[in-house]
């Protein structure tokens, strides 16, 4: 239903769940015709063995529209039943819709619409580069309001799943999805965690070691002539002005990740290095610039030689040097400075 110019005439109905509201049932004496009996032997035996039981209150159930009995002992403590093999525990609270511990919240309508659009992309109904139907058409086909559709599209744009443009040929399109876009999105989230002190600089550098040292070793085993040329080109750019040097540093590590042959590593490394680059842009770190070109060259030579252990060892030395420079450049006494705020 989402594909451009390929929508069928049928309208999709968003499943809805109706909740029947019932008032609490007035308790009736056990044994009277108004009180349903316990239908399983275990419940009946337990009821007969508990004295005194004068009333059999009923509580609403959170599962479906059923109702489950609970009995009250002399201490007024609810005794939980799992009547008739239902496989579910019944609530003694009598309140419908109460969220149980561990239960996820009900998704908002715009979140469900966003999920449906993503599912259409995953299934191939919507392809990269496709234009989505107009907002009004989407709202009509999904049987929701236009503001709901608008909010869902904003969410997907923030996730870099969709992109919008204006003009005669404008509209909302499925983005060309690649690792660089995902890395950018992850980098922004990592930066936010640093800003609110939910992530430390030490943790950031520890993650770099966990990812990049093995990646350098894998690159030594799997690199192609094209990979080596890409890595070498980033080293040659290290000698340019500072702004280009930062770009070259990120490009070097991305090129090493690409040479490893593992695209997931490329995404992770790309997101971390974009974060590191933003930090480096805020502080003067001449030591990193001066040492990077030499250290990058040594890593490149180990990868070119196909020496897995040496490549990993040299990457470890490079990362620990860079980590120490960052720790010294960002004052630990100032939480805002340490997290990268200005």
DSSP per position, 195-251: HTTSS-HHHHHHHHHHHHHHHHHHHHHH--HHHHHHHHHHHHGGGS-HHHHHHHHHH
Phi, psi of 162 (to 5 degrees): -120, 165
- pLDDT tens sequence across 133-179: 999 999 999 999 999 999 999 999 988 899 999 888 889 999 887 77
What Rg do the C-alpha atoms of the chain give, in angstroms?
A: 31
Phi, psi of 196 (to 5 degrees): -100, 15
- Top-ranked range on mean pLDDT: pick from 47-56, 260-269, 329-338: 260-269
Q: Helix, strand or coil for residue 327?
A: helix
- Whether the ω angle into residue 52 lies within 30 degrees of 0, i.e. cis, is yes
Supply the pTM of this predicted model.
Answer: 0.55
For 183-239, what is each residue's pLDDT tens digit?
777 888 888 888 788 888 888 889 999 999 999 999 999 999 999 999 999 988 765
- Determine the pLDDT at residue 134: 92
At residue 86, the pLDDT reads: 40
Whether 41 has a pLDDT exceeding 50, the answer reads no
Residue with the larger pLDDT of the pair 24 and 155: 155
| The predicted structure's pLDDT at residue 50 | 40
**What domains, with CATH codes, occur in the chain?**
25-93 (no CATH), 109-174 (1.10.10.10), 181-339 (1.20.120.530)
């Amino acid at each position: 239903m989402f594909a451009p110019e390929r929508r069928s005439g049928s309208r999709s109905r968003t499943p809805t769940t109706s909740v029947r509201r019932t008032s609490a049932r007035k308790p009736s004496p056990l044994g009277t015709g108004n009180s349903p009996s316990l239908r399983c032997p275990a419940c009946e035996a337990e009821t007969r063995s508990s004295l005194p039981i004068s009333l059999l209150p009923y509580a609403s159930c959170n599962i479906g529209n059923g109702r489950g009995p609970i009995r009250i002992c002399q201490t007024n403590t609810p005794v939980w039943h799992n009547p008739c093999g239902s496989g579910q525990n019944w609530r003694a609270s009598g309140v419908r819709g109460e969220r149980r511990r561990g239960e996820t919240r009900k998704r908002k309508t715009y979140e469900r619409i966003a999920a449906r659009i993503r599912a259409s992309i995953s299934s191939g109904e919507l392809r990269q580069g496709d234009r989505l139907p107009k907002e009004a058409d989407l709202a009509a086909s999904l049987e929701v309001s236009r503001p709901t559709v608008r909010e869902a599209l904003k969410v997907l744009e923030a996730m870099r799943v969709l992109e919008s443009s204006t003009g005669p040929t404008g509209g909302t399109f499925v983005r060309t999805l690649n690792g660089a876009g995902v890395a950018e999105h992850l980098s922004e989230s990592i930066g936010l965690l640093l800003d609110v002190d939910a992530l430390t600089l030490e943790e950031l550098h520890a993650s770099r070691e966990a990812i990049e040292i093995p990646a350098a070793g894998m690159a030594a085993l799997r690199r192609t002539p094209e990979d080596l040329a890409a890595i070498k080109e980033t080293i040659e750019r290290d000698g340019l002005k500072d702004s280009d040097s930062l770009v070259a540093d990120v490009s070097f590590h991305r090129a090493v990740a690409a040479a490893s042959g593992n695209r997931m590593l490329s995404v992770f490394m790309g997101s971390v290095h974009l974060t590191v680059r933003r930090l480096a842009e805020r502080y003067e770190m001449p030591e990193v610039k001066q040492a990077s070109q030499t250290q990058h060259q040594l890593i490149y030579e180990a990868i070119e030689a196909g020496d897995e252990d040496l490549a990993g060892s040299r990457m470890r030395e490079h990362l620990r040097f860079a980590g120490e420079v960052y720790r010294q450049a960002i004052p630990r006494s100032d939480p805002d400075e340490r997290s990268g705020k200005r």
